Chain A
C-alpha cells in the first residue's frame, strides 16, 4: 500500500476540490465578505465555471435549472446574512418540488456567531424547515465528510436541497489532507415488498375502471418508459400532475393530460368515475385533488412512492408501496395482465368527446393558446420549456405538446414567480445544445429581471416569451370569478417597455405586437442563437379554464 501524500489546504480549497471531484462543472452564486475565501479558491479552479448571478435567488434558480434539466445535484453559493436570506426562496422551491440542490453559504467566523455581527443571520436555523438536511461546519476537516454527504443526501431517495453553512474561519483553516473521500452518490433504494407489488397487480387486474396517476417522482426516477409500458399493457388511462408533464407524450392514446384545478373536464370527470387509482410518485397535492373527499370517491388506491411519509398522508392507500417508482413499475409490469378494457376506454373516449379540453384561439398567435402553439410549431422535442408562475404557466401546461421527461421545468409546489428565466439560464448552461424557451408574464419577469444581464453575459440560448396582459393575471381572474369583480392591486398602472428593458440588459428583443407576420417573426427569433426576448400582448380578460374553485371538488369545474 502506497503512503498517502499529504497536501496542506485551506477549508476553502477543500470545498473547491471536493466540488471538482463531485463532478460539478457549473455553479451559480454571488460573492460577499463571508464567502470570499471560497471564491478565492474557486478562482484557481480550471474545472468549475462560476456563473455570476445578480441576485442570490436568481443564482439559486440557475442551479435549480441545471438540476431539473439533468437530475444531478447542482450547486449555488451565497455569502452570509442577506446573501443567505435571498437564497431561501429558491431553496424552499427545491424542497417542495424535490429538486437535488446543494447550497453553500458563507457565515461569520465562529468566534462572532451569536454576536449580531455584520451580515450575521442564523442561516442554519432559517433553513431547517426548507431543506432536506443542513449543516453548520465546525472545522475544515469536517468538510471532507460533510460535502460528499450533502451530495448523497440531495440525490438519495426523494431528492431535495441541502444547505452547508461554512464560517469564514473554517474556510481559512489550514489542514493536512491525505486521502480524499469517495464522491457522494445516491444510495440504493431497498427493493419493494414483493407481496405488496403482487397485491397491487391483483387490484389492477381486477379493476374495471382504473386510472394511472403519474407525479413528478416518475420524472425523478427516470421511470417514464416503465410507466408508459404499464399503461399500455394494462390499458390504463393516464393522468399527469403538473410536475409529471412529458412523462407520457401528450398525443398518446391513453393520455388524459393534466388533472386538477386547470385540467380538462373529461380528465377530472374520468377520475370521478374510476374504481382504482394507481398513484405513482405523486403526493395528492391540493391543486391536483381539489377537495380530497370528492377526489376519486369510488376508487381504491394503490400508492407507490419513494418517500414512506407520503403514503397515507392525504388519502389512505389500500396498497401502499414504498420504493423507487421505476423499480416498482419494473416488478409490477410482468405481474399485470395484458388487457384491452374496451368498455372503460370507450367510456373515457366518450367523456373526452363530450368534454374536451377547449383551446380557443389556438390558430391565432395573438391569443394565449395560439401563441403557445405557434412557438411549439417552431420547435422540436429537443427544446426545453420553463415557465414562471401564473396564467401563462397553466396555459402552457394545457397547450404545449410536451413529449419528453425533463422537457418541462416549472415551479409546482411553491409556485414561485421569478423562477422561469433563471431556471432557463441554468437549463441552457447544462445542455447548451438545446433551445430553452421560458414562457413568462409581465408580473413574473420583473421578480428576477436582473438575470437578463446574466443571460446576456453567458450568451445562453434562452428565448423568453413574455405574455403581457398588464396584470397579475391569475389574481385578476380570481378577483373576477370569486371576489365580485372587485379588481384590486392586480392591474398594473405603470408598464415598462420590456423590449427596451431587455435591450438595456444586453438581450435582443422583438415585439410580436408590431410584427405583420408573427409566425415568421417567431420562427426567426427561435432559430437564432443566444438570448432573446419576445414580447407579446395578451388581452387582460383572458382566463385559464376550466377552473376548479379553491376548496371545491374537481368535478365542480367552472368554464371550459
Chain B
C-alpha cells in the first residue's frame, strides 16, 4: 500500500473493524502482525480498555481490498480476540478523531 499515492489512497473504500480483545501486552502485536506480514496497511488504530480493563476494544481503519474477508477470518482465529465487527467507513469513531490530525 506504500506505493500508492495519498489521493489514490483516499479514493479507496474504507472499512472500520471493531475488535473486542483481552487486554494484555501482546495483543496489539498479534493483531497488527497479521496485517503487516501480508503487507496490508492499517490506516488508523485506536485502543482503549473497556469496563474493568480485562478487555480492550481495538478500532482499525483499513482499506477494503480483496484480502479483507481473509483478514477478518484470520483476526477471528486469534486466541485473544473475542469478537470482530465490521463497519462502513462512515462509522464516526475515526471521523470524530480527525480534528486531532489537522
Stretch of A96-104, A124-132, A327-335, A429-437 contacting B (4+ beta carbons < 8 Å)? A124-132
Note all chain A residues with C-beta closer than 8 A to B37: 129
Q: Across the interface, do B73 and A133 meet the contact criterion of CB distance under 8 Å?
A: no
Closest Cβ neighbor of B72 among chain A residues: A309
**Any A CB within 8 A of the CB of B26:** yes
Closest Cβ neighbor of A311 among chain B residues: B73
Q: Across the interface, do A312 and B69 meet the contact criterion of CB distance under 8 Å?
A: yes
Q: Across the interface, do A313 and B70 meet the contact criterion of CB distance under 8 Å?
A: yes
Q: Across the interface, do A128 and B33 meet the contact criterion of CB distance under 8 Å?
A: yes
**Any B CB within 8 A of the CB of A134:** yes
**Any B CB within 8 A of the CB of A136:** yes
Q: Across the interface, do A128 and B30 meet the contact criterion of CB distance under 8 Å?
A: yes
**Any A CB within 8 A of the CB of B79:** yes
Measured CA separation A10–B52 after assembly (Å): 30
Note all chain B residues with C-beta closer than 8 A to A312: 69-70
Q: Across the interface, do A129 and B73 meet the contact criterion of CB distance under 8 Å?
A: no
Query: Separation in Å of the B29 CB from the closest CB of chain A?
Result: 6
Give how many A-B residue pairs fall within 8 Å (CB-CB). Answer: 28
Known: A124-B26, A129-B37. A308 touches B73 (CB 8 A): yes
Q: Across the interface, do B79 and A133 meet the contact criterion of CB distance under 8 Å?
A: yes
Q: Across the interface, do A129 and B70 meet the contact criterion of CB distance under 8 Å?
A: no
Note all chain A residues with C-beta closer than 8 A to B77: 307, 309
Query: Separation in Å of the B84 CB from the closest CB of chain A?
Result: 12
Q: Across the interface, do B73 and A134 meet the contact criterion of CB distance under 8 Å?
A: no
Measured CA separation A37–B33 after assembly (Å): 32
**Any B CB within 8 A of the CB of A153:** yes
Note all chain A residues with C-beta closer than 8 A to B25: 136
Q: Across the interface, do B73 and A128 meet the contact criterion of CB distance under 8 Å?
A: no
Give which listed residue, B29, B33, B70, contacts A309 with CB less than 8 A. Answer: B70
A interface size (C-beta, 8 A):
14
Note all chain B residues with C-beta closer than 8 A to A153: 79
Measured CA separation A332–B13 after assembly (Å): 41
Note all chain A residues with C-beta closer than 8 A to B74: 309
Query: Separation in Å of the A104 CB from the closest CB of chain B?
Result: 17
Note all chain B residues with C-beta closer than 8 A to A128: 26, 29-30, 33
Closest Cβ neighbor of A157 among chain B residues: B77
Measured CA separation A313–B76 after assembly (Å): 15
Measured CA separation A307–B76 after assembly (Å): 11
Q: Across the interface, do B79 and A309 meet the contact criterion of CB distance under 8 Å?
A: no
Q: Across the interface, do A136 and B73 meet the contact criterion of CB distance under 8 Å?
A: no
Measured CA separation A132–B77 after assembly (Å): 9
Measured CA separation A80–B34 after assembly (Å): 25
Interface members, chain B 52-71 (any A CB < 8 Å) = 69-70
Measured CA separation A309–B37 after assembly (Å): 16
Give which listed residue, B26, B69, B76, B80, contacts A136 with CB less than 8 A. Answer: B26
Query: Separation in Å of the A78 CB from the closest CB of chain B?
Result: 20
Note all chain A residues with C-beta closer than 8 A to B76: 308-309
Measured CA separation A107–B80 after assembly (Å): 22
Interface members, chain B 25-44 (any A CB < 8 Å) = 25-26, 29-30, 33, 37
When each residue 131-147 of chain A gets 1 if its CB lies under 8 Å from chain B and 0 otherwise, what string results? Answer: 01110100000000000
Q: Across the interface, do A129 and B33 meet the contact criterion of CB distance under 8 Å?
A: yes
Q: Across the interface, do B73 and A309 meet the contact criterion of CB distance under 8 Å?
A: yes
Note all chain A residues with C-beta closer than 8 A to B30: 128
Closest Cβ neighbor of A307 among chain B residues: B77
Measured CA separation A307–B74 after assembly (Å): 10
Hey, which bits of chain A sit against chain B, CB under 8 A? 124-125, 128-129, 132-134, 136, 153, 307-309, 312-313
Hey, which bits of chain B sit against chain A, CB under 8 A? 25-26, 29-30, 33, 37, 69-70, 73-74, 76-80
19 contacts between A and B (CB under 8 A): A124-B26, A124-B29, A125-B29, A128-B26, A129-B37, A132-B79, A133-B79, A133-B80, A136-B25, A136-B26, A153-B79, A307-B77, A308-B73, A308-B76, A309-B70, A309-B73, A309-B74, A309-B77, A313-B70
